[in-house]
Structure 1
Amino acid sequence: MNATERPVPSPCVNICALDEADICTGCQRTVEEITRWSRMDNEERRGVLALCHERARSSGLIWMLPTKTVN
């Protein structure tokens, strides 16, 4: 992280409960990702956020709307 870059904020939404796979149902992070967050650099945090988004999409928490094609 360079001196002018701000830290990537935590995705925590204060809904802290683990599912059967030990994934937080609020932010979609693993226990390891949650505990390591403060020691991650921004690049690693962005990678975790991408994984969280994919987990949410895969579990049906995020729906991707089809894009319109222009003919």
Structure 2
Amino acid sequence: MEQLEFFSVPSPCVGVCTVDDKGYCQGCMRKREERFNWLNFSPAQQRHIIKLCKQRYYRKRLAQRNAIPVVNVEDDADLPPQGNLF
């Protein structure tokens, strides 16, 4: 049995409506069909989609973090013009 809903689930849209290479919106991380059919989904489905969006966001951030090269602090040639801050 589905729980009664007193409030609608707000759309996770943040107004950044561009699609990445995997087909997810870069603003809210929803797939195309999730964006276009948002109002047709039940509140339980909408909450599940928001949960999926959070997982997609964290996976994307983790991939970006792992893709950043580590700078060797001892090598001053790789440092920005202001020098070593630490």
TM-score by length of 2: 0.65
Structure 1 unaligned regions, length at least 5: 62-71
* One-letter amino acid of the counterpart of residue 56, structure 2: R
Matches of 1:19 and 1:46, distance apart in 2? 22
Displacement of 1:21 in angstroms is 1.0
Counting aligned pairs with the same residue, the percent is 33
Alignment partner, residue 24 of structure 2:
23
Greater fraction of residues in helix: 2
Structure number, greater radius of gyration: 2
Aligned-residue CA RMSD (Å): 1.5
Q: Secondary structure at the match of 1:59?
A: helix
* One-letter amino acid of the counterpart of residue 47, structure 1: H
Aligned length: 60
Q: Secondary structure at the match of 1:50?
A: helix
* One-letter amino acid of the counterpart of residue 42, structure 2: D
Moved over 4 A (4+): none
Matches of 2:39 and 2:47, distance apart in 1? 13
Structure 2 unaligned regions, length at least 5: 63-86
TM-score by length of 1: 0.78
Alignment partner, residue 48 of structure 2:
47
Q: Does 1:9 align with 2:4?
A: no
Q: Secondary structure at the match of 2:35?
A: helix
